[in-house]
Amino acid sequence: MSKRIALAADHAGFDEKEKIKATLTEMGVDFVDLGTTSTDSVDYPDFALKVGRAVAEGEVDQGLLVCGSGTGMAIAANKVHGVRAAVAWSPEIARLAREHNDANVLSLPARFLNDEQAKDIVKAWFDADFEGGRHERRVEKITDLEKNDAA
């Protein structure tokens, strides 16, 4: 696998992020860790922004975020033009987010997953590709919404 990703977590997702690194290495996914570096309290938007910008600017192929619910990180990352972040709590949701929505950032809810579930979700995410076809039109509409909103 020749993907390069940006990885980040807040304090609630730090421990799971550290465990996910082993899964990524095992899968041959090259990653850059953008923080946080401990379980000390931090503000999740700061880390979602770092990953979102890395994805949007083409520094990496995809992003992976981890916070308590997954939701805060996804909301913050989705504020970056060009990011389509999805919260996934099962392998099927992760797979569908890639295949149907061309999501380029995965956000995991650390407080609601055990280590094995997180590993399975990450594997499903990286095993899936955007299907295009009928989904392409819908993803293009998302891009159009971003352009119109910026005008």
Between CA 39 and CA 59 the distance in angstroms is 27
Region of 55 on the Ramachandran plot (φ > 0 left; ψ -120 to 50 alpha; else beta): alpha
Does the annotation count 67 as an active-site position?
A: yes
Q: Out of 11, 67, 81, 135, pick the active-site residue.
A: 67
Between CA 111 and CA 134 the distance in angstroms is 35
What's the number of CA atoms in the CB half-sphere (13 Å) around residue 56?
A: 17
Q: Out of 11, 81, 100, 135, pick the active-site residue.
A: 100
Question: Does residue 39 have a cis peptide bond before it, meaning omega lies within 30 degrees of 0?
Answer: no
Does the annotation count 11 as an active-site position?
A: no
Active site residues: 67, 100
